[in-house]
């Protein structure tokens, strides 16, 4: 146990100080610590198992696993990737270069969408957030095109990181273009045009803070009106072909983008758009070519995160194969390393935690009886996913690898798989939402709450120490996985989740007075974090408010659950909470996350949240004047 004086002044550093002094960030990482250690452990287990399968030492008769292994082998065959050179990429560049106007592109829009070629905006099929009742339908959504820089705020005049990142991007793409056969002058012109088109989109895009406000992403537009906004980019017929029927409306996440669409997309801008499209094709697909291409194509993302070196070849092949066959790999991991017994045990833990949460809601003093009752209805209707899915999604059964012996290249397989996934998503238009679908695979070290599904999910990979272990005490487990479980439950009652009812529809179930009070308390949470200095920048309280409300509710509920054990060791509880968040990251990664991540920095999650709980002061005898002291009237308690 750390020195008590240190604990009272900087709890996170006192608990994690020794570890922080010796922890080393591996060259191919941008961080190390709690979550990352588990990720590395999962990677090691799976890579070892798959190596044994490839050598025949371990037999797996699952046909889906066989397809995965064939693809993994193709991805890891760098000899063939090097021999193929730029040839697999050429047809895609040629396809973009052959288009001479937006009118012509409109006619090819169906093909471009299915093949994942770059267009000025993205469409997709996702749940309708306002469909009422238990059966929700999937509808058409549209969002503005992706930007080069990680967030709109990087385009601000006073943002010094923006120009530096654009310089790295420029150098990288110019090099890639010369590697695929363009002259240096052609490459310079193409990248200059791409940046010009990119800059024309930036003013009409939303920033991360705006995108984190879910209610403001729901903007229905009549389909005919939407098509009219696109000017000469006449894609109405292509969308009808893609979906098999004409949609009545489109849900637009960034209305300003489409209202100003013809300023960005018109006859004059077509040449710049075309070069923007070529640049995007090359930068995204070059990573699936040989080693030289992979190294160069990763420069920009490594600069963004401060990662010193590219992943080793074998590991990068594993990551690629696992990303595509995500649920197949997750199913294998979950069944081998977690199993049915653990699945049931953890499910029971989550049910018990919802029981504690229910009591907290029923005993709540600032909500009216009507809203309390509705909150309990929502909690009782919440679905729980633990470990790994009960059934395999059909789309994974459609993935068939064309091996090198059959004349297949890595890039051709990737594009074929991408088409399968896109067609599968589009086929769900106007169909009921599948509530059994998992958004994460079982080998993911994370957890989530889905407001539109009103469900919580805990993949197998997070259910291990320091979050959860039979070797840990109950108090440690409550400070780890207990707080994580209650955190995800709390998302149902955070500033975004609270807007959804028990069926996952955007539907107000609050009284006006209760919503006012909730907003006042959420504002106090924004104020508690807003402007805190970190990594040379400052925390944006609004960007991180939903996660902070969930952390606050998670700790509060986990504390309540720990106390029900009779004689909890709250010192162990709080220390494990701080241990879970230990992390060491590059300065670049910290600064990037500060701009785009809806979570507060790890150290602040550990330190600021505990200051809100009287039990913390009692456990460690924290007094006025101590670094960890916060005056009672400033302590934020929501759930």
Instruction: Give the DSSP per-residue string, 537-600.
Output: EE--TTTTHHHHHHHHHHHHHHHHHHHTTSS--HHHHHHHHHHHT-EEE-HHHHHHHHHH-SSP
> Measuring CA to CA, how many Å separate 154 from each of 10, 255, 352?
32, 21, 44
Q: Which two tokens stand for residue 622?
A: 């924290």
Cis peptide before 76 (omega within 30 of 0): no
- Choose the catalytic residue: 514, 551, 552, 572: 551
Contact by Cβ (8 Å): 151, 207 = yes
The torsion angles phi and psi of 125, rounded to 5 degrees, stand at -115, 120
Q: What's the start-to-end Cα distance of the chain, in Å? A: 30
Q: Give SS3 for 138.
A: strand
Q: Give SS3 for 233.
A: coil
> How many Å apart are CA 518 and CA 494, to the nearest integer?
9
> How many Å apart are CA 244 and CA 142, to the nearest integer?
17
Counting Cα atoms < 13 Å in the Cβ hemisphere of 587 gives: 4
527 in active site: no
Q: For residue 164, give every residue at least 6 positions away whose Cβ sits within 8 Å of its Cβ, in sequence order, or none.
A: none
Which of these, 202, 191, 167, lies nearest to 282 by C-alpha position? Answer: 191
- Choose the catalytic residue: 488, 501, 528, 552: 488
Cα dihedral across residues 24, 30, 36, 40: positive or negative? negative
> Measuring CA to CA, how many Å separate 581 from each of 43, 261, 347, 547, 584?
20, 43, 24, 14, 10
Cis peptide before 466 (omega within 30 of 0): yes
Counting Cα atoms < 13 Å in the Cβ hemisphere of 80 gives: 16
Which letter does DSSP use for residue 114 in this model?
A: H
44 in active site: no
Contact by Cβ (8 Å): 347, 468 = no
Per the listing, tokens 């009782």 go with: 380
Q: For residue 271, give every residue at least 6 positions away whose Cβ sits within 8 Å of its Cβ, in sequence order, or none.
A: 193
Catalytic residue numbers?
Answer: 488, 551
């Amino acid at each position: 146990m750390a020195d008590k004086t240190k604990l009272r002044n900087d709890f996170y550093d006192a608990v994690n100080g020794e570890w922080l002094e010796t922890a080393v960030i591996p060259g191919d990482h941008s961080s190390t610590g709690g979550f990352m250690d588990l990720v590395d452990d999962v990677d090691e287990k799976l890579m070892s198992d798959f190596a044994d399968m490839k050598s025949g030492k371990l037999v797996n008769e699952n046909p889906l696993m066989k397809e995965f292994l064939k693809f993994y082998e193709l991805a890891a065959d760098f000899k063939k990737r090097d021999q193929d050179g730029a040839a697999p990429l050429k047809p895609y560049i040629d396809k973009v270069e052959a288009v001479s106007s937006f009118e012509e592109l409109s006619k090819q829009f169906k093909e471009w969408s299915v093949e994942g070629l770059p267009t000025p905006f993205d469409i997709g099929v996702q749940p309708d957030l306002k469909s009422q009742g238990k059966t929700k339908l999937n509808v058409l959504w549209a969002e503005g095109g992706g930007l080069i820089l990680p967030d709109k705020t990087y385009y601000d005049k006073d943002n010094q990181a923006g120009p530096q990142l654009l310089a790295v991007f420029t150098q990288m793409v110019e090099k890639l273009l010369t590697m695929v056969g363009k002259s240096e002058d052609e490459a310079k012109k193409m990248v200059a045009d791409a940046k010009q088109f990119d800059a024309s989109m930036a003013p009409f895009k939303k920033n991360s803070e705006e995108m984190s406000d879910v209610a403001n992403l729901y903007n229905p537009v009549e389909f005919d009106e939407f098509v009219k906004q696109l000017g000469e980019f006449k894609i109405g017929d292509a969308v009808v072909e893609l979906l098999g029927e004409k949609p009545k409306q489109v849900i637009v996440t960034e209305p300003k983008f489409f209202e100003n669409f013809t300023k960005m997309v018109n006859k004059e801008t077509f040449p710049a758009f075309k070069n923007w499209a070529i640049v995007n094709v090359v930068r995204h697909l070059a990573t699936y070519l040989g080693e030289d291409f992979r190294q160069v194509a990763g420069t920009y993302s490594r600069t963004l995160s401060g990662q010193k070196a590219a992943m080793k070849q074998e590991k990068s092949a594993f990551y690629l194969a696992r990303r595509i066959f995500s649920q197949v790999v997750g199913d294998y991991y979950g069944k081998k390393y977690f199993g049915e017994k653990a699945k049931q045990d953890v499910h029971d833990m989550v049910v018990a935690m919802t029981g504690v949460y229910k009591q907290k809601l029923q005993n709540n003093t600032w909500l009216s009886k009507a809203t309390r009752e509705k909150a309990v209805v929502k909690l009782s209707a919440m679905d729980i996913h633990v470990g790994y899915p009960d059934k395999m999604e059909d789309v994974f059964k459609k993935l068939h690898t064309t091996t090198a012996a059959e004349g297949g290249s890595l890039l051709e397989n990737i594009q074929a798989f991408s088409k399968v996934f896109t067609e599968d998503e589009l086929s769900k238009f106007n169909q009921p939402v599948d509530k059994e679908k998992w958004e994460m695979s079982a080998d993911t070290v994370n957890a989530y709450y889905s407001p539109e599904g009103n469900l919580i999910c805990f993949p197998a990979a997070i259910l291990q120490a320091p979050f959860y272990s039979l070797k840990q005490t109950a108090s440690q487990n409550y400070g780890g996985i207990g707080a994580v479980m209650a955190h995800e439950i709390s998302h149902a009652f955070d500033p975004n989740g609270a807007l959804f009812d028990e069926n996952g529809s955007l539907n107000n179930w609050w009284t006006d007075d209760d919503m006012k009070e909730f907003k006042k308390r959420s504002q106090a949470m924004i104020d508690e974090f807003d402007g805190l200095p970190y990594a040379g920048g400052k925390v944006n309280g609004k960007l991180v408010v939903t996660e902070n409300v969930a952390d606050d509710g998670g700790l509060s509920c986990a504390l309540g659950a720990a106390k029900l054990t009779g004689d909890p060791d709250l010192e162990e509880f709080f220390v494990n909470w701080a241990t879970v968040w230990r992390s060491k990251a590059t300065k670049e990664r910290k600064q990037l996350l500060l701009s785009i991540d809806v979570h507060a920095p790890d150290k602040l999650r550990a330190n600021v949240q505990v200051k809100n709980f009287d039990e913390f002061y009692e456990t460690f005898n924290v007094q006025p004047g101590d670094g960890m002291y916060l005056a009672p009237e400033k302590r934020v308690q929501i759930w």
